[in-house]
Chains A and B, each alone.
Chain A
Amino acid sequence: MGEYLVEAKNLCKYFQVDRKRTLKAVDHVDIAIRRGETLGLVGESGCGKTTCGRTLLHLYDATSGEIYFDGKEISRLRGKELLEFKHQAQIVFQDPYSSLDPRMTISEIIAEGMDVHLKLSPKEKNERINELLLAVGLTDQFANRFAHELSGGQRQRVGIARALAVDPSFIVCDEPISALDVSIQAQIVNLLIRLQRERGLTYLFISHDLSMVKHISDRVGVMYLGSMVELASSEAIFSAPKHPYTQALISAIPVADFDGEESRKKERLEGEVPSPIDPPPGCRFAPRCRYATDICHKEMPKLEEVERGHLVACHHCLNNHS
Chain B
Amino acid sequence: MDRILNVENLQVSFHTYAGEVRAVRGVSFELGRGETLAFVGESGCGKTATAKAIMRLWKPPFVEIKSDSVVEYNGEDVMKMDKKRLQSLRGNDISMIFQDPMTSLNPTMTVGKQIMEGLQLHRGLNKAQAREEAINMLRMVKIPVPEKNVDSYPHQLSGGMRQRVMIAMALACQPSILIADEPTTALDVTIQAQVLDLLQELKTQLNTAIILVTHDLGVIANFADRVQVMYAGQVVERGTTKEIFNEAKHPYTWALLNSVPALATENKQELYALKGTPPDLILPLNHCPFAARCEYCMGICREQMPEETTLSGTHKVSCWLEHPNAPKVESFYDRRKK
Contact = CB atoms under 8 A, between A and B. Distances in A.
Tell me if chain B binds chain A.
yes
A253 B241 contact: no
A190 B259 CA distance: 11
A164 B42 CA distance: 29
B260 A182 contact: yes
A215 B265 contact: yes
A210 B189 contact: yes
A29 interface: no
Nearest to B161: A272
Contacts of A258: 221, 241-242, 244-246
Contacts of A249: 189-190
Contacts of A295: none
B106 interface: no
B260 A254 contact: no
- Chain B's interface size range is 35 or more
A268 B200 CA distance: 14
Contact of A255 (B43, B221, B255, B270): B221
Contacts of A235: 267
B262 A268 contact: no
Contacts of A257: 221, 245, 262
A212 B246 CA distance: 22
A238 interface: yes
A266 to B, nearest CB: 8
Contacts of B306: none
B197 A193 contact: no
A216 interface: yes
A44 interface: yes
Interface of A is mostly: helix
A187 interface: yes
Interface residues of A, number: 40
Given A211-B260, A268-B197, A272-B161, A253 B218 contact: yes
Interface string A254-287: 1111110100001011011000000000000000
Interface in A84-134: none
A254 B193 contact: yes
Interface in A184-240: 185-187, 189-190, 193, 208, 210-212, 214-218, 234-235, 238
A234 to B, nearest CB: 6
B188 A208 contact: yes
Contact of B42 (A181, A210, A254, A268): A181
Given A258-B245, A259-B246, A182 B259 contact: yes
Nearest to B196: A254
Contacts of A234: 267
8 contacts: A186-B271, A193-B270, A249-B189, A254-B192, A254-B218, A254-B219, A258-B246, A271-B144
Interface of B: 42-43, 144, 158-161, 188-194, 196-197, 215-222, 241-242, 244-246, 255-257, 259-263, 265, 267-274, 277
Interface of A: 44-45, 151, 181-183, 185-187, 189-190, 193, 208, 210-212, 214-218, 234-235, 238, 248-249, 252-259, 261, 266, 268-269, 271-272
Given A186-B273, A208-B188, A268-B194, 18 more contacts: A44-B191, A182-B42, A182-B216, A185-B259, A208-B189, A211-B260, A215-B269, A217-B267, A248-B190, A252-B190, A254-B216, A254-B219, A254-B221, A255-B263, A256-B218, A261-B221, A268-B190, A272-B158
